[in-house]
Amino acid sequence: MYIYEAAALGAATLWALTGLLSAGPAQHLGAIAFNCTRMVMVTLMLCVWVAVAGGWDTIGTDHLIPLVLSGFIGIFAGDTALFLTLNRMGPRRTAMLFSLNAPLSAILGWLILDETLTGMQSIGIVTIFAGVLLAIRFGKRKSQLHKWETIKGPVWIGVALGFIAALSQSVGSLIARPVMETGVDPVAASTIRVGVAAVGLVVLMRLPFSWVKPAGRFTVPIAGIIALSGMLGMGIGMTLILFALSGGEVGIVATLSATTPAVMLPMMWWRTGEFPALGAWAGALLVVAGSALLFAF
């Protein structure tokens, strides 16, 4: 039975689903207010999880500064840029842009940690970048009118925000990697990282700037969707990927977990009633193929 591979694919599916679930509330509240609410909720969920399951005793004082810095860059900056991208570019293009975190992590590991980058991995990096460009440039037909396919504002701003989100995620992971290699509990480490992001967002929303204030009113249905999004994406999804990595081959697990852009397409087809353009399918398949080359060699 391919239970670990199924878990990795399940995580990718949940991440695709949370991208679609988040689109409405993020648009309604604005990226900052949405992300702040989500991070506070997820922090509370993770705190309960760690309190029940244990794990705090694996965190040493020398781990705190790297985890705090990782949370600030990777989650506070990265997720904020991600939801700003979502509001501008829609869930499909956002998922494609965020998939750049994999090749960016490989490039940073090569540049900073002196990790080996093989020829096949280099081809994988180029393939992923090509898939993202293809999906953005040719991923929409003129007949597609759903709001999720509408780009708001200049394209380059949305692409830049998506790139910042992916880069921040990569840098945050790079900072946390030495800590995770010491054997700390992953959920406890994630709780610290997410908690730092939650505190940063709460402080940000207290600043006297209109762009950080909620764009719409908080309602019970909106709060429910945000909580569901956080639980599925950062709760169950994270659990599935950690389980997959506990017994599956890292290359296969990483490749399957990178299928989110491809998994999202049939979901969008079902949700919007509009068949995605061939460019969107081709771009998503290139991202999956590039990830296979990147992680398997």
Domain hosting residue 266, numbered range = 3-296
CA distance 53 to 242: 15
Looking at residue 266, what is its pLDDT? 92
Q: Band of the pLDDT at 98, cuts 50, 70, 90?
A: confident
Per-residue pLDDT tens over the stretch 236-280: 887 787 678 667 776 677 788 888 898 999 999 998 888 889 999
Residue 216 pLDDT more than 90? no
Q: Structural domain tally of the chain?
A: 1
**For 234, which DSSP code?**
I
Query: Could you give the CA distance from residue 153 to residue 89 in angstroms, rounded to a whole number?
Result: 9
pLDDT tens string 138-184: 888 877 777 888 888 899 999 999 999 999 988 988 888 888 778 88
Residue-level pLDDT at 246: 67
pLDDT in tens, 31-73: 899 999 999 999 999 999 899 988 899 898 899 999 999 999 9
Alpha helical stretches, state H, the chain: 3-29, 31-53, 61-70, 78-98, 101-112, 119-138, 155-180, 186-205, 220-230, 237-247, 250-257, 260-272, 278-296
* Average pLDDT, rounded, for the chain: 88
pLDDT at 8 over 90: no
For residue 16, CA distances in Å to 99, 185, 262 come to: 12, 26, 9
Poorest-confidence range of 35-39, 126-130, 172-176, 220-224? 172-176
pLDDT band, residue 297 (cuts 50/70/90): low
Report residue 292's pLDDT band, with 50, 70 and 90 as the boundaries: confident
- The model carries a pTM of 0.87
The b/e string for 126-144 (b: 16+ C-beta within 10 A; e otherwise) is ebbbbbbebbbeebbeeeb
